[in-house]
Amino acid sequence: MAETILLTGAAGLIGRALHRRLLDRGDTVIAIDRIGGDDILACDLTEVHRLHELGADATAVLHCGAISGPMVARDNPHLIVQSNIVGTANILELARVRGMRRVVFLSSVSAYGNTPAGVDPVPENVVLSPSSVYGASKVAGEALVNAYHLQHGLDAVSLRPAWVYGPGRTTACAIRDMIEDAQAGRPTHFPFGRDFFRQYVHVDDVADAILLALDAENFRQRAYTVTGGSYLTLGQVADTVRTVLPSAEIRMEPGRDPIDDLQARFDISAAANDLGYRPRIALEDGIRSYAEWLAAQRQTH
Domains of the chain: 4-300 (3.40.50.720)
Alpha-carbon dihedral sign for residues 200, 234, 301, 12: positive
pLDDT on residue 300: 79
Mean pLDDT over residues 59-83, rounded? 86
Q: How far apart are CA 177 and CA 188, in angstroms?
A: 8
Classify strands 197-198 and 232-233 as parallel, antiparallel or unpaired.
antiparallel
Q: How far apart are CA 165 and CA 202, in angstroms?
A: 5
Q: Rounded to 5 degrees, what angle do the CA atoms 163, 167, 171 make? A: 55
Amino acid in the structure at residue 92: L
Residues of the chain above pLDDT 90, percent: 92
Answer whether residue 71 shows pLDDT above 80. no
In this structure, are residues 228 and 236 in contact, taking their beta carbons and an 8 Å threshold? no
Class of residue 175 by CB neighbours under 10 A (exposed 0-12, middle 13-18, buried 19+)? buried
Q: How far apart are CA 35 and CA 254, in angstroms?
A: 39
Asked, as a colleague might, if the bond just before 161 is cis with ω within 30 of 0, I would say no
Answer whether residue 298 shows pLDDT above 90. no
72 falls in which pLDDT band (50, 70, 90)? low
Report phi then psi at 27, rounded to 5: -75, 150
| Cross-strand pairs, 7 | 31, 62
Residue 296 CB contacts under 8 Å (≥ 6 apart), including other chains: none
pLDDT on residue 2: 84
Whole-model pTM: value is 0.96
Class of residue 238 by CB neighbours under 10 A (exposed 0-12, middle 13-18, buried 19+)? buried
Q: How far apart are CA 267 and CA 173, in angstroms?
A: 23
| Cross-strand pairs, 6 | 30, 61
Residues of the chain above pLDDT 70, percent: 98
Amino acid in the structure at residue 248: A
Residue range 87-139, pLDDT digits in tens: 999 999 999 999 999 999 999 999 999 999 999 999 999 999 999 999 999 99
Q: Which of 107, 191, 174 is nearest to 146 (CA)?
A: 107
pLDDT on residue 70: 65
Q: How far apart are CA 58 and CA 100, in angstroms?
A: 7
171 falls in which pLDDT band (50, 70, 90)? confident
Answer whether residue 301 shows pLDDT above 70. no
275 falls in which pLDDT band (50, 70, 90)? very high
pLDDT on residue 68: 74
Answer whether residue 37 shows pLDDT above 90. no
Residue range 232-273, pLDDT digits in tens: 999 999 999 999 999 999 999 999 999 899 999 999 999 999
Q: Residues 33-38: contacts with CB within 8 Å, 24+ apart?
A: 33/8, 33/9, 33/65, 34/65, 35/11, 36/11, 37/11
Amino acid in the structure at residue 233: T
